[in-house]
Amino acid sequence: MHELTGVARSASRQERRYRRFKLRDPVHLVFRSGELVCEVDAVSRNVSIGGLLLECPVPIPQDSAVNFIISLRAQTLRPLDLVGEGKVVRMTRSTTGAEFAVALECKQPMTPIEAYPQLTQVDLLSESYRLPS
């Protein structure tokens, strides 16, 4: 009977494609809302190679294209800025009610900003700019 319980439990658990890391770091986002290009600062809740879960002060509509820079600030490492692009796959009101939980799926893995020395942060965050594949 013990074995059956274990099997049922593992079958019902949702499998994640990528391992997630609980990281609370600043994320700067650029996205289009109607005719406007919007910029907003958010905070990561968790990060994986395939995406991010953010605490965001404003709602970002599902399926919106987003460019972002996440600034990883571990105490033992030098600061590391990663640039990425993706789309909003889920947006809900946060459990605190004051913010929104925004899930982003990355088009490709995030890249250290140093990989683009010829580009400025403004270029990388431009809503019309697309990272090279």
Domain harbouring 63, CATH code? 2.40.10.220
Q: Exposed (0-12), middle (13-18) or buried (19+): which is 58, by Cβ within 10 Å? A: middle
Within-domain flag for 117: yes
In the beta sheet, which residues pair with residue 26?
A: 43
N-terminal to C-terminal alpha carbon distance within the chain: 51
Within-domain flag for 130: no
Structural domain that includes position 105: 18-125
Q: Between these two residues, 49 and 131, which has the higher pLDDT value?
A: 49
Within-domain flag for 11: no
**DSSP state, 7?**
H
In the beta sheet, which residues pair with residue 80?
A: 72
Within-domain flag for 96: yes
**DSSP state, 15?**
P
For the chain, the average pLDDT equals 80
119 has a pLDDT exceeding 70:
no
**DSSP state, 114?**
G
Check: pTM over 0.85? Answer yes or no.
no
Within-domain flag for 57: yes
**DSSP state, 17?**
S
Number of compact structural domains in the chain: 1
Which pLDDT tens digit goes with each residue over 25-80?
999 999 988 888 899 999 999 999 899 999 999 999 999 999 999 998 877 678 88
pLDDT at site 3: 40
Within-domain flag for 70: yes
CB 27 within 8 A of CB 51: no
Within-domain flag for 6: no
Q: Between these two residues, 98 and 27, which has the higher pLDDT value?
A: 27
100 has a pLDDT exceeding 80:
yes
Token output for 32:
């289009």
Within-domain flag for 86: yes
